[in-house]
Amino acid sequence: MVTRLAVKKVFMQTFGCQMNKLDSELALGRLVRAGYCVVRDKSDADVILLNTCSVRQHAEDKVFSHLGALKRLKEKRPGLVVGVLGCMAQKEGRKLAKRFDIVDLVCGPRRIADLVPLLGKCNGSGPVVAVDGDRRSGNRAVSFEADRAVECRPMKHHAYVGVMAGCDNFCSYCVVPYLRGAEVSRPPADIVEEVRRLADDGCVEITLLGQNVNSYGVGLEPKVTLADLLAMLDPIDGIERINFVTSHPKDLTRELCEAVAALPKVCEYLHVPPQSGSDKILGLMKRGYTSKHYREMLTMAREVIPDVEIAGDFIVGFPSETEEDFMRTLSLLKDAEFLNCFVFKYSPRPGTAAAELEDDVPDEVKRERNQRLLQAQEEISLRKRRALIGHTVEALVEGPSKRDASRMTGRTRNNYIVHFESPGNLAGRLVTVRITAATPLAVTGDVVEQ
**What gap in Å lies between CA 158 and CA 150, rounded to an integer?**
11
Touching ligand 5AD, residues 277-316 (CB under 6 A): 313, 315
Among 349, 369, 384, 411, binds ligand 5AD (CB under 6 A): 349
Site string for ligand 5AD, 44-63 (x = CB under 6 A): -----------xx-------
Contact call for residue 419 and ligand SF4 (CB under 6 A): no
Listed residue (306, 315, 29, 278) closest to 149, CA to CA = 29
> Which window, 74-82, 128-136, 332-340, 345-353, contacts ligand 5AD (CB under 6 A)?
345-353
| Residue 271 interacting with ligand 5AD (CB under 6 A) | no
Segment 227-256, which members bind ligand SF4 (CB under 6 A)?
248
Neighbours of 66 (CB within 10 A): 17
How many residues bind ligand 5AD (CB under 6 A)? The answer is: 12
User: From the list 112, 159, 171, 281, which residue makes contact with ligand SF4 (rule: CB under 6 A)?
Assistant: 171
What are the start-end ranges of the H helices in 213-322?
226-233, 254-262, 279-285, 291-304
Distance CA 108, CA 309 (A): 35
Which strand (E) or helix (H) includes residue 45?
none
Choose between 36 and 314: whose C-beta lies nearer to ligand 5AD: 314
Residue 346 contacts ligand 5AD per CB under 6 A:
yes
**Residue selected from 52, 143, 169, 444 as contacting ligand SF4 according to rule CB under 6 A:** 169
Task: Report if residue 211 touches ligand SF4, rule: CB under 6 A.
Answer: yes
End-to-end CA distance of the chain: 57
CB burial class (10 A; 0-12, 13-18, 19+) of residue 350?
Answer: exposed
Which range, of 136-144, 167-175, 217-225, 428-436, touches ligand SF4 by CB under 6 A? 167-175
In this complex, which beta carbon is closest to ligand 5AD, that of residue 341 or of residue 435? 341
Asked whether position 347 contacts ligand 5AD by CB under 6 A, the answer is: yes
Is there binding between residue 170 and ligand SF4 (CB under 6 A)? yes
Compute CA distances 405 → 285, 381, 409, 415, 435, whole Å: 43, 24, 9, 21, 19
Residue in 124, 9, 116 with CA at minimum distance from that of residue 78: 124
Nearer to ligand SF4, 151 or 170 (CB): 170
With binding defined as CB under 6 A, does residue 329 bind ligand 5AD? no
**CB-count exposure of residue 91 (10 Å: 0-12, 13-18, 19+):** buried
Q: Which residues bind ligand 5AD (CB under 6 A)?
A: 55-56, 173-174, 273, 275, 313, 315, 344, 346-347, 349
